[in-house]
Amino acid sequence: MTAHQTISPAPVTAAEKLTGAEIVVRALVDQGVDTLFGYPGGAVLPIYDALFHEPRLKHVLVRHEQGAGHAAEGYARSTGRPGVVLVTSGPGATNAVTPIVDALMDSIPLVVITGQVPTHLIGSDAFQECDTVGITRSATKHNVLVKDVRDLARAIHEAFHIATSGRPGPVLIDIPKDVQFASCPYTPPGEVRFAHAYAPRRLGDPARVREAVELIASARRPILYVGGGVINAGPTASEALRAFAGATGAPVTATLMGLGAYPASGPQWLGMLGMHGAYEANHAMHDCDVMVCVGARFDDRVTGKLDAFSPGSKKIHIDIDPSSIGKIVHCDVAIVGDAGEVLAQMLDAWAGRQPADLSPWWAQIDGWRARNGFAYAPSDTVIKPQYAVERLYALTRGAEAGGREVYISTEVGQHQMWAAQFFHFHQPNRWMTSGGLGTMGYGLPAAVGIQVAHPDALVIDIAGEASVQMTMQEISTAVQYELPIKVFILNNEWMGMVRQWQQLLHGERYSHSYASALPDFVKLAEAYGAVGLRAETPAELDAKIMQMIDTPRPVIFDCRVAKDENCLPMIPSGKAHNDMILADMAAELGSLIEDDGKRLV
Amino acid sequence: MTDTLPADPAGSAYFLDFETGEERRATFAVIVDNEPGVLHRVVGLFSARGYNIESLTVAETDHAVHTSRITIVTRGREGVLAQIKAQLGKIVQVRQVFEVGGDPRWVERELALVKVRGTGEHRVEALRIAEIFRARVIDTGTDSFVFELTGAPDKINKFETLMRPLGLVEVSRTGVLSIARGAERV
């Protein structure tokens, strides 16, 4: 493309000139940023120099740029504010790519600032040069290389606007070192004219809202299926959801990303749906007559076999991203808008209606509930991983009752699903997990970011011993900043989900899924200056968990659990919602999955 | 941000398309902010999501406001085409997306340069067909012509077909451009 000038020069509003590096720092302060997660290097040293003089910005030095990105994600998801990352050029930028894609998939607002080699060296294969905007173009919601210092303030302010509005996501700003040294007047947020016509719609079309409400009012077997969009739309969206659920009497299920939008203690709560979701939630999705999808995207972990997905229902889809609507599943009423705004509109349109008589539907649901889909075989000799999460949940209630907020992050795998099944969330923004991308190594650095944002909270990374080793070095960050995160490792010595799939789908050929050399996590914790704890029997578990909770320092907890436990219930690949495998069918597991299903991911 | 609302059931990429939908050709006119990387984002979207590009034209069209116009010809089932439109609309630098192919309110044109080698009857016949198509001769030798031809893509396809037995050597085409009929700007 014959493109040159990114943005025309910013208007001059003050005689005072700042360097590009100072503009970065000033713009971050003006955007309300209080914390950056970063790692210095040659191409960002001018910005680090400017940070040195700015007491309003706390910088958290991570141990690897991937950690900076996930920490910023944890910060963002737990506060509702954008996470900010500052890394250098070349490897600094490439190391940050994984969390950037993670944030794109899970719609997390991030602003990532990368240093770049000086403008005149771009394209010359200079030291620590890489094509950062090229590499991250498909990884970001938007990115920009700022080649003129006069464009810098606007680019940063616009980055915050784009990252946090519409469907949130990561925005990257690549700043060459000479631009950081060059100077020009600074433009504050209120005086900037954005370069793009980007303006996502927040309010739903009123006609569609009325149509949706009529459909819900006529339903006899309705269900609310809510996703991360409700969390992203802020706490008022969760309140609107609770009010709308109350008004309609409809049961509520949520995706992995939507946990906490509706309280797990609420009377209409069915539990998480999907591949490892609640038996009653999946059956209700299958048999409902009207499905209201709010801020979710019919992910393949949720739908199971598509042509058997909720075959008899009319579907209402509310999403701020028009491309999510109709992408996977046909919907009958499409409403583009912010989940919170549209739910409030629907509540208005519902007005004083009485809920329909849904008692036959609830009776049916109670039948599914009675099946007790999360049951597992208990043991008094080995710690069952489900039991460990159940006890962790129970024993953190005291902290919660005492006014100490509890935040949970996870890695990716079986432990993540057990956490979603057995830890219960009653408020939004308390549950941080890598859903779309499924990034092993997310949880520990995310916990660092959460704890930075909530210094007094109890922050626990429910981890697996395989995932946690991918970003284990960030425990050093936690120690440096006295962040008392708890890394609760369900240690079964296997990549558990891989092992489970190999058992079920690959003839029990356990190809490279066992780590025969694991660190001693207690000694490892001590080596890092953290506290190490270990529990090996159910009898000692409670006391050790309490010891962890009461330790005011970072803790790595090596919870030795049953090695070959499978994560159930499960919709096997290629099956429908009403075709779940439950724990008491486990003997026949292998035979329940057909060849077609084995080809799927 | 363009208002891309794939609200009608035809927007489903699943129920209609995977099973029953027919593929069709579609032309999208995309008005974008002219800045580095926009073309990469648009083309990257097509490759990342597995859509086809049959032709692509791009140039700055309004220097004052830094907008360019990208015209993309693609093929797909209805749901896929609705997704293409919605996904294009999500790109921050994209201002507007129009589907113009097959819409009588829009015209599409393409320019082709066509080289034909031949002597005797073939040469005479090539020249005669060129006249019918209102193609201009822009280069000639004793045994070759280069024709310049504009028209809708179908017309150029037809010209190519007729020239093939007469000694067609090579064709260079611009890809499709489009504009709405009438006095208004989009």
pLDDT in tens, A33-51: 999 999 999 999 999 999 9
User: What tokens does A439 get?
Assistant: 């990034």
Contact A185/A192 with Cβ under 8 angstroms? Answer: no
Residues of B in contact with A8 (CB under 8 A): 66
Q: Please indicate if any CB of chain A lies within 8 Å of the CB of B87.
A: yes
**pLDDT above 90: percentage of residues in chain A:** 91
Residue corresponding to tokens 């080995």: A382
Q: What's the rounded mean pLDDT across residues B1-27?
A: 52
Range scoring the smallest mean pLDDT among A61-70, A132-141, A386-395, B52-61: B52-61
Residue A499 has pLDDT above 70, yes or no: yes
The distance of A316 to chain B (nearest Cα, Å) reads: 11
Residue B8 has pLDDT above 80, yes or no: no
Kindly report, residue by residue over B97-113, the tens digit of the pLDDT. Answer: 999 877 889 999 999 99
Q: Which pLDDT score, from 0 to 100, does residue A574 have? A: 81
Mutate which: B90, B93, B94, B186, vs A, most A CBs within 10 A: B90
Contact A563/A577 with Cβ under 8 angstroms? Answer: no
List the single residue in B with minimal CA-CA distance to A311. B15
Q: Which pLDDT score, from 0 to 100, does residue A573 have? A: 79
Q: How confident is residue B11, by pLDDT bands cut at 50, 70 and 90? A: very low
Is the Cβ pair A323, B95 closer than 8 Å? Answer: no
Contacts of range A394-398, beta carbons closer than 8 Å, 24 or more positions apart: A395/A542, A395/A545, A395/A546, A395/A549, A396/A458, A396/A460, A396/A549, A398/A549
* Among A577, A597, A572, A592, residue whose Cα is nearest residue A309: A577
Q: How confident is residue B185, by pLDDT bands cut at 50, 70 and 90? A: confident
Q: For residue A177, indicate whether it is catalytic.
A: yes
Reduced to 3 states (helix: H, G, I; strand: E, B; else coil), residue A226 is strand
Is the Cβ pair A322, B60 closer than 8 Å? Answer: no
Reduced to 3 states (helix: H, G, I; strand: E, B; else coil), residue B56 is strand
Q: Which pLDDT score, from 0 to 100, does residue A587 have? A: 61
Q: How confident is residue A583, by pLDDT bands cut at 50, 70 and 90? A: confident
- Which of B36, B89, B92 is the closest to A322 by Cβ? B89
Q: What's the rounded mean pLDDT across residues A510-525?
A: 96
Q: Which pLDDT score, from 0 to 100, does residue A352 have? A: 83
Is the Cβ pair A323, B89 closer than 8 Å? Answer: yes
Q: What is the pTM of this model?
A: 0.92
Q: Which pLDDT score, from 0 to 100, does residue A586 have? A: 64
Q: How confident is residue B6, by pLDDT bands cut at 50, 70 and 90? A: very low
Is the Cβ pair B14, A162 closer than 8 Å? Answer: no
Q: What's the rounded mean pLDDT across residues A211-228?
A: 98
B29 vs A588, residue with greater confidence: B29
User: What tokens does B158 get?
Assistant: 């037809």
Q: How confident is residue A16, by pLDDT bands cut at 50, 70 and 90? A: confident
β-partners of residue A222 are: A290
List the single residue in B with minimal CA-CA distance to A143. B37
Residues of B in contact with A4 (CB under 8 A): 36
